[in-house]
Amino acid sequence: LLKEQGYEVIGMFMKNWHDDSVTISDECPWLEDSNDAMIVAQKLGIPFQAIDLSAEYKKRIVDYMFDEYQKGRTPNPDVLCNREIKFDIFLKAAMRLNADYIATGHYCRRDEIDDNGETLYQLKAGKDNNKDQSYFLCQLTQEQLSKALFPIGELTKPEVREIAKVQDLITADKKDSQGLCFIGKVRLPEFLQQQLKPKKGDVIEVPADSDIYNEDTEDVEVITDSLDTITAPFVYQKSSGKKVGEHNGAHYFTIGQRKGLNIGGTPEPLFIIDTDTKNNIIYTGQGENHPGLYRKGLFIEEGDIHWVRPDIKLTVGETRDYMVRIRYRQPLEKAQLIKEANGLYIIFDQPQKAIAAGQFAVWYSEDELVGSGVIA
């Protein structure tokens, strides 16, 4: 597509991972991907080179993942991979080759608007709603967007495959890549066990009608509908739960998770409603309507707020309505953003399921992604 538009194109492949011991065989192995990329480049008659970024990837992405899981948080390495690797280290490498832009296969769009003679860049959802990947680019800056091209953003996946078939490209029918950015599908516990060792702990089931107030609270009346209360995780009398099993490490699990507990015998499936990595305890509740799974809001600390469009960022005391999602592919939800001195509060019209610390909340104005932040 870029060649048709008159660009001079160079193909570049990033190798970001060397350890095949934790990847699931035949799922996105880097060697096969590299060969496919080289064959496509030959077919298109464009130069091709590979670049090894595995040291930077380990430092900026893998070490971050281990650190976040150890703290009982749920990181999103794909978002970080785009911010730290693709649109930073890789972008700088491309610029050293005197490139004007880098182009990626993300299903999203970039537009420009004129603001009193200054060009502002918009990050918009891809036309294919089923494949929109703007969420993964939610941490990009104006500078990064100014150097980015997304040539398939106006197309659907079937249309892209059809173009590849017409061009007789080897990747035309290749399965969609899944799993970690540039690593592929991994067995997460085995991946994490490289640094986070297994450690037996209790699985506690908290009844749905449990007192939702923390046992440290002396007077229930002091709890009001303050922003901090509305956005706080589910709290309960932890002494009211019962042990229903054991796990191999609280840091291997995340809020909302159902699989992997291997505990049966309950009328409804057990879902994780809280992980305590300090005391190595997992708290669970029966069924997907357990109150511990739902929250009305979330909080983003001041240093973790990012505006793709800094010209419209909220100032202290300001509120604005946006459509928000808290994970990839989640339907957009109506919410109010409230800016305070200590950070940003997001209050949803409807309670949201499995809000996990460490994930990215992303807000849109119509089809434009305007900001994001790490959930506290």
Dihedral sign, Cα of residue 89, residue 93, residue 95, residue 99:
negative
Catalytic residue chosen out of the listed positions 28, 81, 108, 138? 81
Global pTM? 0.90
User: What domains can be seen in the chain, in order of their start residue?
Assistant: 11-192 (3.40.50.620), 201-293 (no CATH), 296-374 (2.40.30.10)
Contact between 200 and 247 under an 8 Å Cβ cutoff? The reply is: yes
Contact between 283 and 245 under an 8 Å Cβ cutoff? The reply is: no
27-54 residue pLDDT tens: 556 788 899 999 999 999 999 999 999 9
152-173 residue pLDDT tens: 999 999 999 999 999 999 999 9
Give the whole-angstrom CA distance, residue 279 versus residue 343.
Answer: 28
**Among this protein's residues, is 108 annotated catalytic?**
no
**Among this protein's residues, is 138 annotated catalytic?**
no
**Could you count the other beta carbons within 10 Å of the beta carbon of residue 31?**
9
Element (DSSP H or E) covering residue 123: strand 118-125
346-362 residue pLDDT tens: 999 999 999 999 999 99
In Å, how far from its chain's centre is CA 130?
16
Which bin fits 243, alpha (ψ -120 to 50), beta or left (φ > 0)?
beta
Across the chain, what does the average pLDDT equal? 90
Catalytic residue chosen out of the listed positions 28, 108, 138, 181? 181
Per-residue confidence (pLDDT) for residue 76, from 0 to 100: 92
